[in-house]
Amino acid sequence: MEKQTYYVSVQAKTITEHRGDAAYELEIEATPAEVHRLYELFESETETDLNNWIRMHSPKIIEEELVSHAFVDQHLTEVYRLLYKLGTSKTKSHIQSMNVLQGLQNGYTDDF
C-alpha cells in the first residue's frame, strides 16, 4: 500500500490527512494500516486515562498508581516509537530532541 502524509497530535490524540484540519505536532508518512495501529494506541491510552481517573477515587491508589505509571510510560514509548518509524525527517529530528526514546541520542535507530 502506498503511504500518504498525515498530521498527528499526540496531546489531542488526533490524526488528520489535511494540515489545516486540526492543530498537530508531528508529520508522518503512513499506510492506512499503520494509521489504524496509531489510532489503536491512542484509544488504548484514552482507556488508560479513564481508568486512572476512576482509580484516583479508590483507597488502594498507591500500589496501583505505580503499576499504572509504568504502563502509561510504556504505552507512550510505543506511540513515539511508531511515530519515529513513520515520521518525516523533521519529525524524527523533533522526537530525537525530546529524548523520549532510549537509544536515539546515541544513534541507535535500528529498533525504531
pLDDT of 23-64, one tens digit each? 999 999 999 999 999 999 988 876 666 666 666 666 666 555
Q: How far is the C-alpha of 112 from the C-alpha of 103, rounded, in Å?
A: 9
- C-alpha 89/C-alpha 95 separation (Å) is 10
Query: Which cell goes with 59?
Result: 483507597
CA distance 20 to 17: 9
Bridge partners (DSSP) listed for residue 26: 8
The string of pLDDT tens digits covering residues 67-97 is 555 556 777 888 999 999 999 999 999 999 8
Q: Which of 93, 78, 75 is nearest to 26 (CA)?
A: 93
* CB neighbours of residue 32 within 10 Å: 12
Question: How far is Cα 9 from Cα 52, in angstroms, rounded to an integer?
Answer: 21
